[in-house]
Amino acid sequence: MKPVISVRDLVKTYSIGEVRVPALRGVSLDVHAGEFVTVVGPSGSGKSTLMHILGCLDKPTGGEYFLDGQNVSQLNDDQLSRIRNKQIGFVFQGFNLLSRTSALENVELPLLYGGSNTPPQERRKRAMEALAAVGLADRAEHHPNQLSGGQQQRVAIARALMNNPAILMADEPTGNLDSRTSIEVMDIFQALKDGRGITIVLITHEPQVAAYGSRILTIKDGCIVSDKANVRRRLARYELEYEPRDASLVEGRAG
């Protein structure tokens, strides 16, 4: 089977004045459809840089990147925008919702840039469905500052899934959440992988979070140091059912 993501000798070097800082030094990787890949590594290891390049937010200095068999390095800005809109969904640590804009409108956003000119009623309907899917139908008109962190992240996930992308990129999605909410978010990801077969690439610095993935990549100093299937996969659904609901207890244990 052809990999969805295929990178060869990916190099990224940042130039800060005269100093050249290598972030990625030759990363090669294949991700197949339906995989839940977690990339784990300490801060400064280059894992975020990797995700930015995989998500077409940034361009590599060297190496090749094939997304669905398409050579991304040859695409222009408009084509990259289209890929970000149609093929990839993003979930960020800081949620990155538009402030002073309702949850519903945030979720509608990808449809605005889809180029298909969806009529407003249709946009609204689909956004409502996406919000309902993450259990926030009753919060549609709330603005981000009226929502909790977990709710904001769920709005962000609903937005990321709006155009039915094949890949979901998540950059420290639980970084700003307490552990119970983190488990809830991971539950959503696992359900997406198992239910809809979405390919997920998740970046984290916490091994406990990485343990939810089906495959764990460890990255250090811009190189992949280990790449193995996760045999002791954590199941968020199970934890949510059997873990005590007392947040302080969970936090204490996690810390």
Partner 1 sequence: MSPRSCFRVALRALAKNKLQTALTMIGLTIGVATVLTMIALGSGAQSSIQDQVKAAGMNLIVITAGNYKVKTEDDFGVVENARFEAPRAESPFRAAIWTGDDRPRFLPVFHPEDDPLEKHDHPTASQRLGDMEAGLGSAATLASGDAAAIRKLKGVQFVSEGVHENAHVAFGGKRWFTRLHGDDVSLPFIRRAWKFERGRFYTAREENNTDQVIVLGSVAAEKLFGDANPVGEIVKIWNQPFKVVGVVTSGSWLVAPAPGDDQFDAVYVPFTTVHRLLNLSKLNDITVTAASSGDVTRLSKGITELLRGRHKIGPTKPDDFTVTSQARQALAKGGMRPEVARSVVGNVDVLEKVTLEQLGKTLDRSSRTMTALLACIAAVSLLVGGIGIMNIMLLSVTERTKEIGIRRAIGARRKDVLLQFLMEATTLSVAGGLGGIAIGVAASIAIARWASWAASISFISVALAFGISAAVGIFFGYYPARQASEVAPMESLRYE
Q: In a 3-state reduction of DSSP, which class is residue 164?
A: coil
Q: CB of 168 within 8 A of CB of 189? A: yes
Nearer to partner 1, 43 or 245 (CB): 43
Residue 255, Cβ neighbours under 10 Å: how many?
A: 6
Residues lying near partner 1 in the complex (CB under 8 A) are found at 48, 52, 55-58, 77-78, 81-82, 84-86, 90, 92-94, 96-101, 109-110, 112-114, 117, 120, 159, 163, 171
- CB closer to partner 1 out of 52 and 215: 52
C-beta of 81: minimal distance to partner 1 in Å? 4
Spatial distance between the Cα atoms of 18 and 24, rounded to a whole number of angstroms: 18
Token pair 């299937």 is found at 229
By CB neighbour count within 10 A (0-12 exposed, 13-18 middle, 19+ buried), where does 217 fall? buried
Nearest distance in Å: CB 93, partner 1: 7
Nearer to partner 1, 94 or 244 (CB): 94
Query: In the bound complex, what is the minimum distance in angstroms from residue 169's beta carbon to partner 1?
Result: 10
For residue 10, the one-letter residue type is L
CB nearer to partner 1: give 158 or 236.
158
Q: How far is the CB of 94 from partner 1 (least distance, A)?
A: 5
CB of 195 to partner 1, least distance (A): 23
Nearest to 255 by CA among 206, 203, 184, 192: 206
Residue closer to partner 1 (CB basis): 174 or 190: 174
Q: Is the dihedral of CA 106, 87, 171, 208 positive or negative?
A: positive
